[in-house]
Amino acid sequence: MRLRILGTAAGGGVPQWNCACPGCAGARTNPGWRRSHASLAVEDHIVNATPDIAEHIEACEWLRPIPAASPSASGPVSADAQDPADSPISGPVSGPGRTRVMRVILTDAELDHTLGLPRLREADELEIVATATVREALTRGLRLQEVLSPYADLRWRDLPQDGSVSLTGGVRVQAVPVSDKRPRYAAAEASASGWVVALRFTDPVTGGTCLYAPAFGVWSAALEEAMAEADCVIVDGTFWDDEEPRRTGISSRTATEMGHLPIEATAERLARLPGRCLYTHLNNTNPLVDPDAPQHKRLAELGVEVAADGMVIEL
């Protein structure tokens, strides 16, 4: 099972367009500090369609469109060229070709994780795997079906809270409910479960498993069990400590009240897990944005990593 960490930042990215905090200021002068919105490629599926989705596709070699072999003014296509069938969005620039299908799995209905869907409107078919609650929020609250249907064939696949879904290539994904935190545009929606889930991916051939949980505010028994069974755990690292949002002035609430357990509350727990553990979804105020921050050393001593944009993991 191939994984590529497409992005590792919380909402707004690093730098955030309207912010001059130390993290954003540093990212404007040090390219190594920059982070795009948190997302993950699992084979030919993209987890969460962020505003950076087009750039994420370009950065991932196995997601880029590949032209079908055809004569050209520059000569025949090399025999070593990659087969267009290897790309989920392959096809020639013109003429008959394969249907361009984009496959997206959603952990929630937040804008940061769904605004990229309209950028995929050029696809012939857009397959979205999501819980029934998330689908309802997007189709009723954001009118996604109504807006995108004239451009692409939208196909929804239910992500059950008590089972798994088979993806292309045989990989299976299972939802692990973690929160009922709703996006602001859906604040008036009737109470329902399935608003925020972690995703457990399993490769039946290799047996490799990965748990992806970019946002959670409670360390539940179900989440801990899924983490303990995973070979790789990629989890919420939005804030370093609970007071960070209030201290930096971005919110009147604590990190936990915003739906994100801080790293100080989870790092030692992760260190006790048997699998490889990485943090993602870093906010621009998080000191870990600075590669030289002492907090990196503290995590390294625990054997916990900070994910980087572009990192590839094989399981």
pLDDT at 69: 56
pLDDT at 81: 47
Instruction: Report helix angle 263-271 to 294-302, nearest 10.
Output: 30
Rounded CA gap, 315 and 1, in Å?
A: 5
Using alpha carbons, select from 303, 306, 214 the residue that is nearest to residue 260.
Answer: 214
pLDDT at 88: 59
pLDDT at 90: 46
pLDDT at 79: 40
What are the tens digits of pLDDT across the range 158-180? 999 888 999 988 999 999 999 99
pLDDT at 188: 81
The single-letter code of the amino acid at 151 is: Y
28: alpha, beta or left? (left if phi > 0; alpha if psi -120 to 50) = alpha
pLDDT at 65: 78
DSSP-assigned letters across all residues of 240-294? SSTTHHHHHTS-SS-TTTTT---HHHHHHHHHTSSSEEEEE-B-TT-GGGSTT-H
Question: Strand 45-47 vs strand 39-42: parallel, antiparallel, or unpaired?
Answer: antiparallel
In this prediction the pTM is 0.91
User: Tens-digit pLDDT profile for the chain (315 aa)?
Assistant: 999 999 999 999 999 999 999 999 999 999 999 999 999 999 999 999 999 999 999 999 999 877 665 444 444 444 444 554 455 554 444 444 456 789 999 999 999 999 999 999 998 899 999 999 999 999 999 999 999 999 999 999 999 988 899 998 899 999 999 999 999 999 887 777 899 999 999 999 999 999 999 999 999 999 999 999 999 999 999 999 999 999 999 999 999 999 999 999 999 999 999 999 999 999 999 999 999 999 999 999 999 999 999 999 999
User: Which residue in the block uniquely carries the two structure tokens 């072999």?
Assistant: 69
The single-letter code of the amino acid at 108 is: D
**Contact by Cβ (8 Å): 306, 33:** no
**Contact by Cβ (8 Å): 134, 106:** yes
Beta-ladder partners of 179: 196
**Contact by Cβ (8 Å): 290, 23:** yes
Cα R_g (the chain), whole angstroms: 20
Beta strand ranges found along 17-143 (DSSP E): 39-42, 45-47, 101-105, 125-130
